[in-house]
């Protein structure tokens, strides 16, 4: 399974790195999985919302993943970086839409769910996001669900900054089984939290 996590200036550090660590640990458990931190452009580094800089491992335009994870960050700041800025710029939502239309499963972490909403992939579907953006998600046409992780098949969302870890563990369990997810959670000494809503699809 090929997983791409897309990063951008202003991304929340934990939104991106939390799922990355879960998936990398799952690969260490022996499952057929590769995870890559990607950007949309040729910038060698990303500066995240709290000032951490890190290198991208590839470009999203060059990848055709099985799963795309879209983090959030700085949505409510309405600034020049972060999820709101990416939504307004439109390039990332367009890429999300194209990949989803091509059959890629998309997952939004925290206000990354708003980038999925801007892409139109949550219209009329159950979803969640950070509590500070729930009104925006509702206004976008999504059906807001009060759950930590919301699984609607090829669209999965999670609400809250640390929810990326829960989302990734859930996806590891969904794709590779509970024993692998439990082993990863144990390795990370992480107690999974919150409810998961799974739609009938």
Just list the catalytic residues: 110
Question: How remote is the C-alpha of 196 from its chain's centroid?
Answer: 15
- 74 conformational bin, left if phi > 0, alpha if psi -120 to 50, beta if neither: left
The string of DSSP letters for 87-156 reads HHH-HHHHHHHHHHHTT-EEEEETTHHHHHHHHTTTTTSEE---GGGHHHHHHTT-EE--SSEEE-SSEE
């Amino acid at each position: 399974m090929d997983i791409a996590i897309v990063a951008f200036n202003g991304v929340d550090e934990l939104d991106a790195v939390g799922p990355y660590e879960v998936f990398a640990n799952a690969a260490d458990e022996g499952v057929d999985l590769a995870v890559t931190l990607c950007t949309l452009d040729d910038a060698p580094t990303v500066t995240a919302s709290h000032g951490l800089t890190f290198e991208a491992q590839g470009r999203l335009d060059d990848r055709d993943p099985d799963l795309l994870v879209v983090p959030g960050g700085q949505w409510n700041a309405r600034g020049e970086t972060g999820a709101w800025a990416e939504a307004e710029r439109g390039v990332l939502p367009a890429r999300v839409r194209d990949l989803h239309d091509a059959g890629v499963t998309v997952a939004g972490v925290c206000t990354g769910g708003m980038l999925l909403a801007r892409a139109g992939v949550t219209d009329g579907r159950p979803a969640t996001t950070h509590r500070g953006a729930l009104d925006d998600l509702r206004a976008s046409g999504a059906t807001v669900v009060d759950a930590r992780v919301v699984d609607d098949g090829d669209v999965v969302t999670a609400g809250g900054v640390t929810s990326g870890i829960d989302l990734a563990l859930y996806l590891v369990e969904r794709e590779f089984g509970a024993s692998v997810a439990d082993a990863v959670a144990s390795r990370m000494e992480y107690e999974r939290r919150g409810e998961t809503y799974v739609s009938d699809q």
